[in-house]
């Protein structure tokens, strides 16, 4: 199992929109794990194995400052909103490979979108 860590480079807020569009295109349909880590709830796995549909930033309107994460397949879909986002950081593995994204909210809650490796099928 490879270790995943927060990158030392946060994405600057003025480029969140474009960065998330590019990230979504590069990683569409990759299987994911979505985790939330907060002071009151501890660490929780919110979803596991659903493919990435997309991630977007909402700069205006009633959800201004929020990031929306959409996961889904043929029969299931999940939307998760990271309210009052203050930080977006790429997650990288040991070899600098993109492993997902970390999000931090104004209240200190962290949300991790991590790409999962599917188990290899063996014939036999």
Each residue's pLDDT tens digit, 52-110 = 999 999 999 888 999 999 999 888 999 999 999 999 999 988 767 789 999 999 999 99
Average pLDDT over residues 42-53: 92
User: Lowest-confidence range among 16-20, 107-111, 119-123?
Assistant: 119-123
Pick the CATH number of 5-115 from 1.10.287, 2.30.29, 1.10.3470, 2.60.40: 2.30.29
pLDDT score of 2? 43
Banded model confidence at residue 119, pLDDT cuts 50, 70, 90: low
Other C-beta atoms lying within 10 Å of the C-beta of residue 6 = 16
**Cα 68 to Cα 112: distance, rounded to the nearest angstrom:** 13
75-101 in b/e form (b: 16+ CB < 10 A) is eeeeebebeebeebbbbbeeeeeebbb
Asked if residues 112 and 37 have their Cβ atoms less than 8 Å apart, the reply is yes
Domain ranges of the chain: 5-115
């Amino acid at each position: 199992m490879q270790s995943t860590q927060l990158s030392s480079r946060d994405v600057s807020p003025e480029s969140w929109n474009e960065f998330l569009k590019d990230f979504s295109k590069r990683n569409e349909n990759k299987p994911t794990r979505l985790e939330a880590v907060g002071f009151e709830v501890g660490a929780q796995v919110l979803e596991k194995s659903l493919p990435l549909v997309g991630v977007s930033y909402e700069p205006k309107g009633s959800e201004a400052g929020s990031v929306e994460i959409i996961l889904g397949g043929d029969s299931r879909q999940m939307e998760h909103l990271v309210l009052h986002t203050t930080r977006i950081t790429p997650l990288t593995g040991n070899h600098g490979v993109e492993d997902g994204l970390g999000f931090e909210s104004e209240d200190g809650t962290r949300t991790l979108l991590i790409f999962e490796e599917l188990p290899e099928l063996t014939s036999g």
